[in-house]
Amino acid sequence: MSVPTLTFVIVGQEDHPIYEVDLTGPKEQQTQYLHQFVLHSSLDAVDEQMWTSKEPHLKVVDRFNGLQVTAFVTAGNTRFLLLHDGRSDDAIRAFFTEVYDLYLRVMLNPFHTPTTRITSREFDRKVKLLAKRLIG
C-alpha cells in the first residue's frame, strides 16, 4: 500500500527552508531525497508564477510525475509549498490560509526574523492539526 505524500515546507526569503514537516508518515530515505529535490526545484516555478498572479495562492505550480506542488506566497516573499499527490485545491487553499495566520503570529514575535527557522512546537502542533482537519 502506497503511503500518501503530503509534505509541507515554508521557504524563507532567502530560499532556504525555515520549516518543514511531513504530514503523512515516515518516508524512506529515497523518498525524503525525492521530496527535497522536487520541492527545491519547484521554487523555480514559484518564482516564475508569482509574477503572473495577483493572488497569494498560486495553485499547482509544479508537477513531478504523480506529485504536485501547490504554492502560496506571502507578501513578504515567504513561500508555502505543499507537496502532495492530488489533494483538493480548495482544501489546500484553506490550509494555506490557516497556516498563514499561524505564520503571521510567529512573525509577530519581535525576536523572530524572516530568516529564522520556525522551531515553535506549538506552531508545529497547530500545523499538523490543520493538516489533519483540512487536507488529511
Partner 1 sequence: MNFVASFYPQEHRTPPLPLVALIGCSELHREISDYFIQHHRPPLVFHGSNEPLEQFVARAFGPKKQSPLVGGPLPGILKADWFAKHRGKKPAMVVALVERRELDGDPSTWNRMMYGLKQLADAAGQRGAGVLVGVVQQQGQGDLPPDRVQAVSHNLTLDRRLILPLALLPPPGVAPDDPATRHVRDAALTRLGRLALELAAAYYGRLARAVADKAAARRSALGGPLPPELAARTAFKLAVYAEFRQDWATAVAHYREAYAAILAVQIGLPPRPQRWSEVCAVAELVHLKLLMLAVHQGRLEEAVAQVRAHLGHFARPKGVLPASAQGAHLGFLVRQYQVAAQEVGTHVDALPAYYTTTTTTGAAGTAAIGGGGTTSVGGGPAAAGMTGGSTTGAAGGGLMQQQLTGGGATAGMTGTGAGITGSGATGSSTIVSSASLKDCSRAHLLMAAARLAVARRQQADALRAARAGGGGALGSGSALGSGGGGAAALDTAPVRRGPYVGQLVLRNEAAQGGYSPLSDQDYLLFLESEECRLVTPAAVIDVMSSALLLLKDAPGADRLRSQLGGLMAQEHVLAGSLSSARKLLLQVCHQYRREGWLLPLLQALLSLRDVAQRLRLPAEHLCYSLEICALANQLQYKPAVLVPLYGSGGSGQHPIKFLTAGGSGAAVGDEDGGDAGGNDGNGTVSTAISEQASCCARLVDLGTAMAACRSAVQTLITGISEIKQGIMKTAPTSTDGTPAPGAGAGPGPFSPDASGLAPAPATGASGGLPRHFHYTVEHLDLREAQRRARDAGDPRPVAELMHRHTQHDYGWSRCVSLAAGFAYTRPDPDSADFYLGLFCGLPRGLPLKAVVLHFADDQGDMWVQALPGVVPPHAPPYPLLPGHIGSALDSATHSFHHLHLNTHLRQHPPPPPGADGAQPDAEPEAERTAGHAHAAGGPASTSSTSGGPGEGSATLPPQRWTHYSARLAPRCLGRLRAERAILLLSDHATVVFKLASFPPATAASAQPGVLTGPLLGGGRGGADAAAAPFRSVRSSGPTGGPAVSPGQLVLNVAHLGPLPSLSYGLPSGLALLGEHAPLLAVLEVPREGRPLVNACMEFVIGRTSGGLQPGDIVLVVDDAAGPQPGLMALNNERYRIQLPTVQPGRRYTVRLWARASAAGTAAVGAMLLCPAQVTATATLTFEEPFDFKCRMSSEVGVHTLSLPRLTSRDLGSTALTIGQPVVLTAMLRALQPAVVEVASAQVALEPGSAIRLVADPNQQLAAHGPPPGVGPPTGPGGPSQAPTSLASTLGPDPAAGPAGAAAVASGALVVAPYTRLTKSDVMTLLLPICPTELLDHPRSLGRLNIRWRRPAGHVLLPQQPAPHATASGSGSGSDAAGSSAEDGGFAGAEAGDAEGQREGEGAEGAVGEANQRGDGFVDPLAPPCPDPWVTTTLELPRVTVAESLLTARTVGPSAITTGIPFTYSLQLQNFGTTPLELMITLQDAPGFACANERSPSLSVPPRERAGVSWQLTASQPGHQLLPGVRLLAPRHNCALTTQSPHVYVQPF
- The runs of H, that is alpha helices, within the chain are 29-49, 89-107, 121-130
Q: Which helix (H) or strand (E) holds 58?
A: strand 57-64
CB 35 within 8 A of CB 13: no
Query: Between 43 and 99, whose beta carbon lies closer to partner 1?
Result: 43
* Site residues (CB under 8 A) for partner 1, limited to 55-74: 58-68
Name the minimum Å distance from CB 51 to partner 1. Answer: 8
Q: Which helix (H) or strand (E) holds 48?
A: helix 29-49
13 lies in the binding site for partner 1 (CB under 8 A): yes
| Contact pick of 41, 76, 90, 104 for partner 1 (by CB under 8 A) | 41
Question: In residues, how long is the chain?
Answer: 136
**Residues forming the site for partner 1 (CB under 8 A):** 1-2, 12-34, 36-37, 40-41, 43-45, 47-49, 52-53, 58-68, 85-86, 89, 113, 115-117, 119, 121, 124, 128, 131-132, 136
